[in-house]
Amino acid sequence: MQFGIIGSGSWATALAKILTDNGNSIYWWVRNPDTIQYLQKRRHNPHYLSGAYFNPNQLHLHKELSDVIDAADVLVIAVPSAYVAETITSVAIHKWSGKKIMSAVKGVLPGSNQLLNDYLQETIGLDLENYFTILGPCHAEEVAAEKLSYLTFSGIDEQATSFLAGSFKTEYINTIINSDIIGVQYAAVLKNIYALGAGIAHGLEYGDNFQSVYIAAAADEMVSFLKKINDSKQSAPCSGLNYAASVYLGDLLVTCYSLYSRNRTFGNMLGKGYSVKAAQLELNMVAEGYNASKCVFLMNQQIGAHMPIAATIYQILWEQLLPADGFAFIEKNLQ
């Protein structure tokens, strides 16, 4: 089975490393021809994870997305959520027919407030049985350093999900499977919002004691939302889910605490007094929690989960609420 990687950022590069380290040759869409030449000559991505080296014989690098789609059976989509729609519609819709899609997207598509599977079903008629997710907790930087990490693969077809997970298993990557294909995606969206808030708290010089209470409350808030969204969106809601598992609580913890977390870094800048625009320019990477906060706020107007933390972070990011005032409110409402 041939894998295609769509995207060339840090997470896409990490996934390419995992697949090739497991002996797979891959087709890889790299939009910049200069980056392709650099990868072929120097064997690493000049812009992301420069410590991750590749065997050029395992890389089929293409600047045309259609070439990768034609060659691959499984397409791993690893571009920021804000650019997904532009990427999908840049090639003829029939090109996607019959492909298995693996989502490594960690956000809701802004504008439509859709998960990737909803968007693909609407635009290319993708059957949910051919859709899979690949999520953490797993920072790209630790993959490059080959530090032990865990990836969770979700899909409706257990046999196919297990096979795909096995293609990513290496000495430094352990794989887990589950069937909560909707819930894990929303957990990935929410943890970025809460991590952004954790960064704001750090920038405001709240200490570890406050952060522990904040993250515990965020985890509880996340579970409330996931239960409601699963009941409303899944035709056969998953029962007996362990929301303390790594793909839910574990990913929340690492994104809130890790210095590798771009959402935490973005929030830290806001807490220190940067404007949203200035923080975006300084970070020079996409912090998924920014757009996600607005998407979740709008969605929750219909869902009705109790989410004062997420709502406050939305107000800081989009309604000019001062970070200090927002966290004074959160502080008073934590238990």
Which amino acid is it at 129? E
* Beta strands 173-178; 149-154: pairing state: parallel
Mean pLDDT of the chain: 93
Question: Is the Cβ–Cβ distance between 144 and 51 less than 8 Å?
Answer: yes
Sequence-distant (6+) residues with CB within 8 A of 284 are none
pLDDT-derived band at 8 (thresholds 50, 70, 90) equals very high
Element (H, E) at 176: strand 173-178
Alpha-carbon distance of 86 to 46, in angstroms, equals 24
Predicted confidence (pLDDT) per residue in 90-140, tens digit = 999 999 999 999 999 988 898 888 999 999 999 999 999 999 999 989 999
Give the ranges where the chain is alpha helix by DSSP (H): 10-21, 33-42, 65-71, 84-88, 116-124, 140-144, 158-166, 181-203, 208-233, 251-257, 262-271, 276-283, 288-303, 308-318, 323-333
- H or E element: which one contains 131? strand 131-135
Strand partners, 285: none
* Euclidean distance between CA atoms 298 and 193, whole angstroms: 14
Reduce the DSSP state of residue 75 to 3 states and report it: strand
The CA-based angle 119-120-125, given to 5 degrees, is 125
| Residue among 156, 165, 113 nearest 135 (CA) | 165
Instruction: Give the per-residue pLDDT at 235.
Output: 46
Share of the chain above pLDDT 90, in %: 85
At 195 the pLDDT is 97
Residue (of 151, 329, 258) closest to 314 by Cα position: 329
Residue at token pair 């840049």: 90
Hey, what domains does the chain have and what are their CATH numbers?
Answer: 3-179 (3.40.50.720), 182-333 (1.10.1040.10)
SS3 117: helix
The predicted model scores a pTM of 0.91
At 209-260, the pLDDT tens digits run: 999 999 999 999 999 999 998 877 654 455 568 999 999 999 999 999 998 8
Nearest to 97 by CA among 120, 65, 64, 63: 120
- What average pLDDT does the segment 10-15 reach? 95
**Is the distance from CB of 4 to CB of 20 less than 8 angstroms?**
no
